[in-house]
Amino acid sequence: MIGYLSGIVQIIRDNSLILNVNGVGYKVSVGPDLLSRLHLDETIDLYVYTQVREEILALYGFESTEELDFFELLIGVSGIGPKAALGILSVAPMEKIRSSIVNQDPTLLSSVSGIGKKTAEKVVIELKNKVGATGSIFDNQEKKAEDVYGALLQLGFKPHEASSALSELPEECKTTEERLKYCLSKLNQG
C-alpha cells in the first residue's frame, strides 16, 4: 500500500492532482483547501490513504499524519466512504470538526453535501469516545486551548508542532495569554 508520496504537482483538477514522483504520475484526491494553495511544479509531501476495491484503486492525500488518522477514523464509520470523509474534512478545520464531535453537535457534519442528519448523528455517536483516544488536545473542551492552537497555526507553526506544545502545558497556565507564551517558548527552543 502507498502511505506517503513526495513529488512535483504536474496537474491540478477540481478535486485531485497528478503528482509526479520520479517520472510516475499518481492521481491523488485531496481537499479543496489544499488544492487552492497548490501551484504547478511545486514539490509537496503527502500522507496517503490507499483505497483498494474490486474495480477501484484510489489515493487520498493529506498534509499531516493527524489529518490522515482523522480521515481513517471517519471512514471507519458505516456509511462514510472516502469521498464523504474528505468532504467532512473540507467543511472546517480539523479541530473544529473534532470539537463538534466531542460536544456531540452533528450540525457541522450535516452541512456536508451528501451527509444527512442521521448519518451526522451516527458519526458523532461512534466517534465521540474515539476522538479523545486520538490524542485530541480538546478532550476537556477548553476553548482557551482551541484559541492558542489557532494562534500558533496563524503564526506559521505546523499542526503537529502546535499539538505537541499544547500537550505539554503545565496546569499553572490558566489564561490564553499564559498558554500562548508557554507554547511559544517551547516551540522556539526547538
> What are the pLDDT digits (tens) for 144-187?
677 787 788 778 887 778 777 887 888 788 788 888 888 899 88
Cβ atoms of 17 and 11 within 8 Å: the answer is yes
Cell for 151? Answer: 494562534
Domain boundaries, the chain: 4-62, 65-133, 143-189
CA nearest to 135, candidates 105, 106, 94, 170: 94
CATH architecture designation of domain 143-189: Orthogonal Bundle (1.10)
State the pLDDT at residue 49.
96
State the pLDDT at residue 139.
42
Cross-strand bridge partners of residue 27: 18
The pLDDT mean for the chain works out to: 86
CATH architecture designation of domain 4-62: Beta Barrel (2.40)
CA nearest to 132, candidates 162, 101, 161: 101
> What are the pLDDT digits (tens) for 95-112?
889 888 888 888 999 888
Comparing 96 with 24, the larger pLDDT belongs to 24
User: What does the alpha-carbon distance between residue 17 and residue 14 come to, in Å, rounded to a whole number?
Assistant: 8
pTM for the whole structure: 0.67
Written as one string, the DSSP assignment of 21-50 is ETTEEEEEE--HHHHHH--TT-EEEEEEEE
State the pLDDT at residue 144.
64
User: What does the alpha-carbon distance between residue 180 and residue 166 come to, in Å, rounded to a whole number?
Assistant: 9
> What are the pLDDT digits (tens) for 112-156?
888 888 999 999 888 887 875 344 434 443 556 777 877 887 788
The CATH homologous superfamily for domain 65-133 is 5' to 3' exonuclease, C-terminal subdomain (1.10.150.20)
- Say if residue 100 is exposed, middle or buried (CB neighbours under 10 Å; 0-12, 13-18, 19+): buried
User: What does the alpha-carbon distance between residue 20 and residue 106 come to, in Å, rounded to a whole number?
Assistant: 38
Q: Is the pLDDT of residue 38 over 80?
A: yes
Written as one string, the DSSP assignment of 97-164 is HHHHHHTT-THHHHTSTT--HHHHHHHHHHHHHHHHHTT-TTTT--HHHHHHHHHHHHTT--HHHHHH
Cβ atoms of 97 and 134 within 8 Å: the answer is no
Confidence of residue 23 (pLDDT cuts 50, 70, 90): very high
